[in-house]
Chain A
Amino acid sequence: MKFEDINVGYETEPVLCSFSEEDIKAFAKLSGDQSPLHLDDGFARTKGYKGRLAHGLLVASKFSYLVGMVIPGKDSLYLSQNLNFHRPILAGEKFKVKGTVVSKSESTKIVEIKMEIFDSEGRVAVEGRALVKII
């Protein structure tokens, strides 16, 4: 999207996503975070979860998808992203990611996007604010 076409209040269509156990294993290898909370269903159950959890940053990586592929898309540079993790996403769980434009600056060509991930029951799992520069 061009800067001129981005309007405050614009919401992306929610995108349905999930991470398989293989995805989580791959991320564990890439990141080095091999906590059993992400790799061992039994361990996760002892901590009160139904099964292994996707890494929070793996889930939040879908925000990168939104920025790079949807809004604004290829003509953008990620400047910052804060994150708050409210609920875990389990391996195989379907979740949705959505972005809403909160503000835009004509002088700097920076767009602020409220990022949200909703779990399979529609509850906010991860949210944060992204600053993206249109290049």
Chain B
Amino acid sequence: MDKLIPIIQKIFKVSAQEINDEMSPSTIPDWDSMNYLIFISELEKEFKVQFTVDETMEAKNLGDIKRYLVNKGIKL
């Protein structure tokens, strides 16, 4: 989570204490559609992975995104 948390904080403007797997557009005001795309783009760059379009469309919360990262071999 060392690399993930600063990205989440920077893009969604939340404190480390607010970060949990249930984070989603309905719980985080700054989680809008554009910020979400920027978030995915930043994750791809930081972790050197590629999400599929389906993954980006289907993710409902941070837990889903973390699961995709783990499935791509990323240790969180």
Contact = CB atoms under 8 A, between A and B. Distances in A.
On chain A, which size bracket covers the interface? 10 to 19
Contact of B38 (A103, A106, A107, A110): A110
Contacts of A106: 50, 53
A103 B38 CA distance: 12
Interface in B28-72: 34, 37-38, 40-41, 44-45, 50-53, 55-56
Interface in A81-135: 103, 105-108, 110, 112, 131, 133
Contact of A79 (B37, B45, B53): B37
A105 B40 CA distance: 9
Interface residues of B, number: 13
A80 interface: yes
Contacts of B41: 103, 105, 108, 110, 112, 131
A133 B37 CA distance: 9
A107 B34 contact: no
B45 A103 contact: yes
A88 to B, nearest CB: 29
B56 to A, nearest CB: 5
A8 to B, nearest CB: 11
Interface of A: 79-80, 103, 105-108, 110, 112, 131, 133
